[in-house]
Amino acid sequence: MESQGDIGSARAWLVWGVAASMNVTWYLAQFELDAIGDDVVASLSLSVAELGAIGGAIFLVYGSLQLVVGVLLDRLSTRWLLTTAAGLAAIGNLLFAMAPSFEVALAGRVLMGAGNAFAFLGPCVLAVRWFPASRFAFLAGMTSSVAAIVGSVGTIVMQEILAFTSWRGLVLGMGAINLLQALLIGIIVRDFPRGRREETTGGSSLKASLAAIGANPQVWLAAVCAASLVGNFVAWSSLWNEQWQRALGFTQGEAATMTAVLIVGVGLGNVGSGWISDRLRRRRLPMLVGIVVSLGLMINLLFGPEPSFAIGTALLFVLGLFLGTLTLTYAVVRDSVPGRASGTALGLMNIFAYASGAVLQFIPSLMLPSKGPYSPAELVGPLSILPAIQGIALLVALFWLRESYPIETSTLAGRNRDASE
């Protein structure tokens, strides 16, 4: 008989929190190129296309491995998979930090992408196992929001650290943090609370799980929305916001601050949209609002009047808040599949999401001259692809995506609370 003592307990929060720390360093890895990009270009004599390749590689590898990662998390030890993944990310940082050329730097970023491929799905799978199903949207939002907020502060701290060390020293420090994570995960994380393994695993074969996921249109429709919301967030925060703000005449420090504010907005939007979704018992409505408002803000960003630093920063914060509804696309998928296939389904989602982030970084760079800096007139055309993708997501969410909130799960959770009282 299942022991309920560990479900949602302090121990559950500790297990989830240690695993979720990997998502914090994953955010820092995404945004570190924003801080060190100019130094890396100068040190390794890179072209803008090579910088775009190094920036996009970590997302492309991350995205392409998500289905494999999800399958592994459903079937092997989450504890040891995450321990190994953190160690692999550390090796990637070491290789990148010591890189003498573009090729070696690219290889290091590839390894970083492979190790960090477990950073979001691992905590989400543990949330499925260690918490009631009705809390998944909030925990998925927390997984991203804590990482985003800490990561945004980290981007500012990176600028300060670079005053005392080189970009190579900064990347080595990131690798050291990954090694510490590997140690803590191995010591603290456990795959399941007592007695819950039977509830979340077994029964279906991999083939049956993939067939069930593939035949569910909700999964594919949510993946399109995730590709837009996550892809736009990654593209703006990792590369193009700084390029755009620098083109408008802001300093590198101001551009970095504006990017940090965007990331904070996404972090708050992640947890806020999860909380609102659970309060309203709706997924689709808050997601639609997020897509519509963020689309309008992106259009204003590219085609509206040039803002002051204060107004531009405020607009980016609001853009982040509404892009933060991206967490609801994962909740839709979690609502639509059985728990034993949750890792596989969420992995499929992340393939679309982060492959889109890599593509939306790389494609605009192909439309630009090989060397910057660029003017707003040169950037506006290539960057128009970003709101265009958001427009496609709006059509999908408006006409085809169905409501998925698990009403029955909410009812059961209420009964459990009543019983505990």
pLDDT digit string, tens, across residues 299-357: 999 999 999 999 999 999 999 999 999 989 988 988 888 767 778 888 888 788 877 88
- pLDDT score for 203: 47
How many Å separate Cα 308 from the centre of its chain? Answer: 29
Task: For residues 197-214, give the mean pLDDT.
Answer: 65
Q: What is the tens place of the pLDDT at every residue in 169-188?
A: 999 999 999 999 999 999 99
Cβ-Cβ contacts under 8 Å for 53 (sequence gap 6 or more) = 106, 362
Q: What is the tens place of the pLDDT at every residue in 52-64?
A: 888 888 878 887 8
- pLDDT score for 53: 85
The pTM (predicted TM-score) of the whole model is 0.75
Cis peptide before 373 (omega within 30 of 0): yes
Position 50: which residue type?
E
Portion of the chain with pLDDT greater than 90, in percent: 42
Helices (H) and strands (E) in the chain, counts: 20, 0
Cβ-Cβ contacts under 8 Å for 63 (sequence gap 6 or more) = 350, 351, 352, 353, 354, 355, 356, 357, 358
Q: What is the tens place of the pLDDT at every residue in 211-243?
A: 878 888 888 899 899 989 989 998 998 789 989
Neighbours of 142 (CB within 10 A): 23
Whether the pLDDT of residue 77 is over 60: the answer is: yes
Question: What span, in angstroms and rounded, lies between the C-alpha atoms of 101 and 88?
Answer: 21
Three-state DSSP state, 308? coil
- Residue 349: both structure tokens together: 């989602």
Task: For residues 60-74, give the mean pLDDT.
Answer: 86
Position 243: which residue type?
Q
Question: What span, in angstroms and rounded, lies between the C-alpha atoms of 258 and 304?
Answer: 17
Neighbours of 184 (CB within 10 A): 14
Q: What are phi and psi of 314, to 5 degrees?
A: -65, -40
Three-state DSSP state, 80? helix
